[in-house]
Amino acid sequence: DVIRNDPVCGEANFATVEAMRRLAKSWREEGGAPDDPKLQTLVQVAQDLSCESIREVARAFNHFLALSNAAETHHRMRQVRSREIASNGLSSSLKNPLNSVIGSVQQLLDSHESGQAGSASASADSIYQALCDQCVEIVLTAHPTEVNRKTVIRKHRRIDQALAALDSPDLVPWKKKTIADSVASQIQSLWWTDEIRRTKPTPMKEALYGLNLIESSLWKSVPAFLRRV
């Protein structure tokens, strides 16, 4: 609906995106052979696009993949939480293959000879010592490593927060609809937002972008991860 609502060739761009998506999906499901006629058709569709259509179709797939990744990540986290609740504690859930903690901890322990690979039997003291021995260095580069604007990142963060809110078991129908509408609104806003910075950032601004990442992400996620460990 977001693409269709675009007054400039919205329906045409939507039809092109859907045709390419279905061709790509069918090609992958049938083995993804390089000589498959579906791949050749997909290539031909892309080659026949005008410059303006290429830009809009590329934007559509960019947003589609970003939102799909966010939904997949949220679903995997939901699975991890459900298994941890069912196991009644983290120690049992470490055996869960979807839990990244065990892999991270074991990687630390491998260099300290504190357990066998793939094992979750290391002592708490060994894990604590391995974590304390880690050295973390933050490098702030002076070139635009992050091309996404902060406004786009904030919109994606709001969508993530809304998806998490939808998992609340005590949501009344009107509240659930309000949150779902806010997700749709953020997606609509994303489509009409310029994703790329049009001016080259100065080294000072690039450093500030790095600090903003620390403040908005690492500052909370690292302590939360360590508490979980």
Return the structure tokens found at 195.
């994703």
How far apart (Å, rounded) are the C-alpha atoms in residues 123 and 81? Answer: 24
Residue 93 has pLDDT above 60, yes or no: no
Give the chain's end-to-end CA distance (angstroms, integer): 43
pLDDT digits (tens, 9 = 90+) for 29-40: 888 888 888 899
- Assign 209 a pLDDT band (cuts: 50, 70, 90): confident
As a three-state string, the secondary structure of 107-133 is: HHHHCCCCCCCCCCCCCHHHHHHHHHC
Residue 100 has pLDDT above 90, yes or no: no
Q: What percentage of the chain has pLDDT greater than the value 90?
A: 13
Residue 164 has pLDDT above 80, yes or no: yes
For 22, 67, 155, the CA distances from 62, given in Å and listed in that order, are 16, 9, 15
The reported pLDDT for the residue numbered 194 is 82
CA dihedral 181, 185, 187, 188 (to 10 degrees): 130
When pLDDT is averaged across residues 154-182 and rounded to a whole number, the result is 90
The set of residues, in sequence order, having a beta carbon less than 8 Å from that of 189 and lying 6+ positions away, is: 155
Residue 71 has pLDDT above 50, yes or no: yes
Residue 207 has pLDDT above 70, yes or no: yes
Q: Residue for token digits 């009107």?
A: 174
> Which has more pLDDT, 143 or 224?
224
> Which has more pLDDT, 121 or 108?
108
- Give the bridge partners for 148, in sequence order: 196
pLDDT digits (tens, 9 = 90+) for 113-148: 544 444 445 677 877 777 777 777 766 565 545 567
Count the neighbouring beta carbons within 10 Å of the beta carbon of residue 60: 21
The reported pLDDT for the residue numbered 76 is 86
Q: Is residue 120 a contact partner of residue 113, using CB atoms and an 8 Å limit?
A: no
The reported pLDDT for the residue numbered 178 is 94
Residue 177 has pLDDT above 90, yes or no: yes
The reported pLDDT for the residue numbered 205 is 79
pTM: 0.66
Mean pLDDT of the chain: 78
Nearest C-alpha neighbor of 4 from the set 158, 30, 16: 16
Residue 63 has pLDDT above 50, yes or no: yes
CA angle 137–119–135, rounded 5-degree value? 10
- Minimum mean pLDDT among 29-38, 40-49, 83-92: which range? 83-92
